[in-house]
Structure 1
Amino acid sequence: MKKLIFLLLFLFVLDANAQTATKEVYIFSYFKDNGQDGLHLAYSKNGLQWTALNDDQSFLTPEVSKDKLMRDPCIIRGADGLFHMVWTDSWTDKGIGYASSPDLLHWSEQQQLPVMAKEQGARNCWAPEITYDVSSKTYMIYWATTIDGRFPLIDSTSESKYNHRIYYITTKDFKTYTPTQLLFNPGYNCIDATIVPYGKRFVMVFKDETLNPVQKNIKIAYADKLTGPYSKPEGPITGNYWAEGPTTLRVGNKWIVYFDKYRDHQYGAVTSTDLKHWTDISDSVSFPKGTRHGTVFKIAEAGFSRLITK
């Protein structure tokens, strides 16, 4: 009963905040199937019910890499007013995809950023994301890579001997980039990091990829600087199911972490007010059928009106 009351109160506050706090619309970028048809977008005005845009057809077809995929698309609104997007463009390439847009409709020429080209043993570049640091006016792009032999393989049963850590580059203009560096090493295989500012700190939400003993869940770490060092992980914050691809949204004083329940072929979510105590609200969220690993961001209502009209 207490859990039901909490959930009803949460839904009430969420709806009230969504209607009165801003005139913004939440947008969810995601891929379907294997990512071969490109970028999909959905919208929500309460953070719970998500509706596909463009009849759930692709907004942008992938053009770079040998595989020409557009998996795990991450979009942020930059300080320059442009939407900047990165994505996984291949299963095995040493780069990631990048493009920008003023309106989510017209996109720049797609590029492949060769972020791990200098690492001979790098096997992949997965699930890149972008976070903006207001204080330094710098964007950090980060992703997961396995470099053969770089770290001890604690989990000897890891799928295909993958042993990911999180790496990063920074840029101020998406033209010049710093050399690739290690961002996060919790001592085990980890992927799908997403980082957001929270007061004077930064919160990283990521997937513990350990198979033996099985984890496959979402955890949290903190840092005083965007580039770290990050704290010992806390959690898991997800339940008895396999979860990946987390993304976060703040609505009033509520945190929502969405994630892909990839073995169940559905999306889930948990919520918290303090990042310590979490309630599963997976039964209260709905996404377009086939949604996979996405990120959430906000756009102005005026911009959304133009987007949905076109």
Structure 2
Amino acid sequence: MKIRFFLGLFVGMLLGLGTTSMAQNDVYLFSSFRDNGQDGLHLAYSYDGYNWTALKKDSSFLRPTVSKDKLMRDPCILKGPDGYFHMVWTVSWNDLGIGYARSKDLVHWSEQQFIPVMSHEPTALNCWAPEINYDAKTKEYLIYWATTIPDRFASTEGGKGDGKYNHRMYSTTTKDFKTFTPTRLFYDPGFNVIDVSIFQVSKKKYAMIMKDETKNPVKKNLKLALSKHLNSGFSPASEPISKLDWIEGPTVTKIGEDWVVYFDQYTRHKMGALKSKDLKNWVDISEEVHFPKGTRHGTVFKASKADVEFLLKQ
């Protein structure tokens, strides 16, 4: 009996070690910017999703070259089925397009491309915080961003936002980043909205985290919507998922059984985070996450150990 007991204990320890090893195979990367985004793309890595370390001594991996302002704010990176890391970003505070580039290793990048997604709307004021998802059903990429078009949404005009801004979400799709479908209104929750991030919850369920940009009265918080489809049909926005306001730039990943939402506490000059198992009950874990000083919002995504080992050599 003793032999069986100790044998079982030994096997259990081995299985436990195996489980730990499997968990350690997940390496998280975080794309971000510094200051106004003038020096370009910054990357950090983490093995647990809580403690983040800057790569390349926190210097830029890619300096912006497109648009008159040459900024690289809100960098969103997605690894596509083609093996490329695809990145979109905000190129300017007041331009009618977004930036795009791709890379196999996050070090060597293609020529930067300016995509004039709102050039057909001459009165539009901006294109902010674009994000990108891949739709396996249609085999195309969905790109979405926030834009203000004056006098387009009268119910939230007139001082409810920051000055002249009154955003809604717009989108386009592409299979090759050369041709794009006509831009369309993607999501109108009935309030000033920016910083949308979409993630797949299950085969038939998608979730959207967004920032309610309403300033008067102050909202500046994060809300959630659900859909059965990636590119349409999202529900009305939920109540705020956090008690915090003046936060922005949400990005989401799965750590164990928890959905973790990172966000930028931009008036407090630090990052924060929430976690939930069911997307209904949220716990603030801001004091448990640690990012490099000066980190501004971007995107969390997973990479292989080989990818990270290559980045550590830079």
Match of 1:232 among 225, 232, 236: 236
Paired residues of 1:18 and 1:45 also in contact (CA < 8 A): no
What residue is the counterpart of 2:113 in the other structure?
A: 111
Larger radius of gyration: 2
Contact 1:18/1:46 (CA < 8 Å) preserved in 2? no
Look up the equivalent residue of 1:174 and give its one-letter code.
Answer: F
Map residues 82-97 of structure 1 onto 2, 5 A cutoff: 82-97=84-99
Alpha-carbon RMSD across the aligned residues, in angstroms, is 1.4
Aligned to 1:4: none
Q: 1:32 to 1:123 in 2, by over 3 A?
A: same
Preserved CA contact (<8 Å) 2:219 2:245:
no
Contact 2:198 2:208 in 1 (8 A): yes
State the AA in 1 paired with 2:313.
T
2:183 to 180, 185, 193: 180
Partner of 1:215: 219
CA-CA distance at 1:34 after TM superposition: 0.3
SS of alignment partner, residue 297 of structure 1: strand
Task: List per-residue Cα deviations over 1:132-177 (Å, max 9, x = no partner).
Answer: 1122211100000000111114263221221100000001121211
Partner of 2:76 in structure 1? 74
Q: Normalising by structure 2, report the TM-score.
A: 0.91
Structure 2 vs 1, CA of residues 144 and 110 (structure 1 numbering), >3 Å: closer, same or farther? Answer: same
Match of 1:64 in 2: 66
With the length of structure 1 as denominator, give the TM-score of the two structures: 0.92
Deviations 1:166-199 (A, max 9, x none): 0000011212110100110001100000111111
Q: Write out aligned runs for 1:245-264 (5 A).
A: 245-264=249-268
Unaligned runs of 5+ in 2: 1-17
User: Structure 1 residues 97-106 or 133-142, which shifts more?
Assistant: 133-142
* Percentage identity across paired residues of the two chains: 57
Corresponding position: 1:277 with 2:278:
no
Report whether the alignment pairs 1:168 with 2:171: yes
**SS class of match (1:293):** coil
Counterparts of 1:45 and 1:283 in 2: how far apart (Å)?
Answer: 18
**Rounded Cα–Cα distance in structure 2 between residues aligned with 1:49 and 1:209:** 29
1:41 to 32, 40, 43: 43
Find the counterpart in structure 1 of residue 9 from structure 2.
none
1:19-30 map, 5 Å:
19-21=21-23, 23-30=25-32
Q: Take 1:172 and 1:150, find their aligned partners in 2: how far apart are those partners?
A: 30
Q: Deviations over 1:24-75 (max 9, x none)?
A: 3100000000000000000000000110000000000000001000000000
- 1:146 alignment partner AA: T
* Aligned partner of residue 310 in structure 2, secondary structure: helix
- 1:197-208 matches, cutoff 5 A: 197-199=200-202, 200-208=204-212
| CA offsets 1:263-289 (integer angstroms, 9 cap, x no match) | 100000000000000000000001011
Distance in 2 separating the partners of 1:21 and 1:285:
18
Residue-by-residue CA offset, 1:5-26 (whole Å, 9 max, x unaligned):
xxxxxxxxxxx97753362310
Q: Does 1:101 align with 2:137?
A: no
Task: Please give the secondary structure, in 1, of the residue aligned with 2:163.
Answer: helix
Amino acid corresponding to residue 177 of structure 1 in structure 2: F
Write the letter of the residue equivalent to 2:225: A
Moved more, 45-54 or 297-306: 297-306
Alpha-carbon shift at residue 235 of structure 1 (Å) = 2.6
SS in 1 for 2:166: coil
Counterpart pick for 2:301 among 293, 297, 301: 297
Contact 1:155 1:212 in 2 (8 A): no
Tell me how far 1:212 sits from its aligned partner.
1.6
Contact residue 131 and residue 141 of structure 1 kept, 8 A: yes
